[in-house]
Structure 1
């Protein structure tokens, strides 16, 4: 019934829309400026380089209008959708106004003088937050109730880049950092598409994005920061969270005739991304959240409920192809490839560091209950995390930014405010060394 009502609303919205020139296609301009080549659309993969097709210049605005109509139609019923998810256990329970935040905010508060070395960075010293990556951090489907709203982006709830409401109703990394620095800027202030700069701000995550798209996303982030009057690019300390790779493992890798060429391309694009950021964004700490090993991913897929198992071939078309050794071995190498690039000495300086986080390891056990996937932590589309899942991930990422943590497999660990770490007098600084794998 909800899908039918949403479809009717969408048709009415599109019927009433007036044709026009639309906004200037800034994405095409940016692609051209940074050397991307225009090619004719084809389903064939290209091994090296950055390309765009006529679809970007001719259909982008129309697709954005259609997606935005769906987005706004769903959000008009936000309170009801929220109530449904809360009743289903897919949202964190609101924290009472009388309850205090778990940490002493004076420890880890803003330094009297902004640090000049990244190793002396406290939570309160972060001025700007940003997010790059795929649908896991665009908030896709977090509160989805049916098929038509499964791709609505609840960006303000995304655990790395959402700042909608407060930690009491939506635990996210920005909502934690806001307590240490009320002037924090860059998080998504609501639920919107990434193209809506006023709402998405520096949460640039996009559905279907893969590692090869990261250089372009880095350029977009730099452009947005340069245009924003609230950003002092030279003086402000910035925290960028990057999570990407699911689409590479689930749809890209197995479509290449030569998996080794695919890995070489990814290595080039990832290294290029970090070089672009280091060259143009001073005072930057990067949270690089890597996907688990392919064996862990396959283990998780094996535990999904029956209704989700039917969808596996659609959202992870490579699933069955990992029975072939050529693809399996390439997938096994992908994690080490990412970690080795992030750990290169060239990406370490007084004002730049990449911290690799393995918070998604042990996923099949972490999200399981009695051997089956616990649906509370996943959206109804079986692919994306629910708001409760995002809240728990925010807690785990925050913990891991303070010190390397292990995943406890009891029920309390799966609650947003249990096993919650805080800066202390001995360790008031954010960690700048990556996890050991």
Structure 2
């Protein structure tokens, strides 16, 4: 094959890849919502241990041989390793990190971690689930500080975490059923798929294992709002999330659902590199339309506020072994900037839209901190996270709407049943009284 023909072939592959990548977003704006029907060769590409030869010939691939973030940097884990409860808890409001046996995720391409480990554009097609902020299980906390790797410090036998790059149907995906291009009305189907996957996994004790499920959706909904304002309203967005939570509530015992509020999508227009502008026009042209800029900001805030009001209304706190808790750590997470005021592109994949590994790690850490913070006092900017917050002897549980109340009674950290110590004290008092009587 001549050099000119090889270049044309590589260019055609690149264009095809970009079309496939854009398809996941475009399909979310159509009336009939279906999961992406990618060609078989693309699924095979995702699950291969190494990139095929033609992929390596694409322009820019040479960066794949360079060192990736975090390089030699490691992150110290400074929380004391608190043990699991003395007996398996029956209440989600008394759930310690070490009590969690399974982690899972619902969502879109941010949950499937598209492009998290990418250095050139076509790699954004890869779903780096092993680096996902929630279920990512590659390496350990020291190099990959995700929620899953934090939980593995407390419970090394954690199940459901994701590894490497893979399709949502791959065993390596674990219990992460996030799919690129998904919108809120896809979530009920994902919730059913997650329940079935957990039932079918022989390593999961479906009835007794405690589960942490992250739910993160909304980028594609917001980016389709200007083309279908009724279907992509804040009310419909929240409705479909609640429908998914109801499916989990009715079908998944012993579950804590961490519901993550949407990020500030309107700020993508700050990234003004030509490639960024091109990709944003493919992903989210609504954010680039200056004629609706104020309206787009308003709908973003409506998404955040409507969902937060619904989740914090305690509608999902009607039984003791289930809760949904709103994590607002993205509500005020503005575009990361360098000292000169320009965007810090290191937080983004090469398409200037998806999260890089660096962003996934920071996101995972602040989500963890949100669960360690009382409802109503939770951090809303993940760029401000410096250290992990740790469970303590005075409050060893993940915070919920219920146990955030000032009057919530915390059990003694020893794990002794609450009624034993008063009974012992009464017995000692009785014995002392008898001794005094005999001495008289």
Sort the TM-score into its range (normalised by shorter chain).
0.7 to 0.9
Counterpart for residue 219 of structure 2:
246
Correspondence list, 1:280-359, <5 A: 280-292=251-263, 296-303=264-271, 305=273, 307-321=275-289, 323-324=291-292, 329-348=298-317, 349-359=319-329
Distance 1:221 1:123, change over 3 A: same
Please list, as runs of the form range in 1=range in 2, the aligned pairs for 1:111-122 lying within 5 A after superposition.
111-122=85-96
Q: How far, CA to CA, are the matches of 1:70 and 1:286 in structure 2? A: 28
Deviations 1:391-420 (A, max 9, x none): 11111111111114546898xx46xxx322
Q: Which residue matches 2:345?
A: 375
Q: How does 1:198-209 map to 2 (within 5 A)?
A: 198-209=171-182
- Render the CA deviation track for 1:112-137: whole Å, top value 9, x for unaligned: 10111111110000011001101112
Matching residue of 1:84: 66
2: CA distance, partners of 1:308 / 1:182: 40
Q: Helix, strand or coil for the counterpart of 2:258? A: strand
Which deviates more, 361-370 or 424-433? 361-370
From 393, 396, 400, the equivalent of 2:366 is 396
Alignment partner of 1:145 is 2:119:
yes
CA distance in 1, matches of 2:393, 2:102: 24
1:73, 1:181 → 2: CA distance?
29
Tell me whether 1:192 sits opposite 2:166 in the alignment: yes
Distance 1:74 1:341, change over 3 A: farther
Distance (Å, rounded) in 2 between the aligned partners of 1:84 and 1:306: 24
**Aligned mates of 1:267, 1:407 — CA distance in 2:** 20
Preserved CA contact (<8 Å) 1:236 1:283:
yes
Q: How many angstroms does 1:421 deviate by?
A: 1.7
Between Structure 1 and Structure 2, how many residues are aligned?
373
- 8 A contact 2:46–2:167 mirrored in 1: no
> Counterpart of 2:207?
234
| Residue matched to 1:272 | 243
Q: Which residue of 2 aligns with 1:104?
A: 80
**Secondary structure in structure 2 of the residue aligned to 1:242:** strand
Secondary structure in structure 2 of the residue aligned to 1:150: helix
Match of 1:429 among 373, 397, 403: 397
In structure 2, the partner of 1:15 is none
**Which range is displaced more, 177-186 or 325-334?**
325-334
Match of 1:362 in 2: 332
- Cα-Cα RMSD: 3.4
Sort the Cα spacing of 1:176 and 1:259 in 2 relative to 1 into closer, same or farther, 3 A. Answer: same
Q: Please, what TM-score do these two structures have when normalized by structure 1?
A: 0.76
Q: CA deviation at 1:313?
A: 1.4
Largest Rg, 1 or 2: 2
Change (3 A) 1:92 1:337: farther
| TM superposition shift of 1:174 | 0.5
Measure, in 2, the Cα distance between the counterparts of 1:291 and 1:191. 25
Mean Cα deviation higher: 159-168 or 364-373 = 364-373
Q: Tell me if structure 2 keeps the 8 A contact 1:166–1:175.
A: yes
Displacement of 1:68: 2.6
Unaligned stretches of 5+ in structure 2? 14-26, 57-61, 405-440
Structure 1 gaps, min length 5:
12-41
> Would the aligned equivalents of 1:70 and 1:149 in 2 still touch at CA under 8 Å?
no
Distance change (3 Å), C-alpha of 1:304 and 1:291: farther
Q: Deviations over 1:125-151 (max 9, x none)?
A: 001100110111211011223232221
TM-score, normalisation: structure 2: 0.75
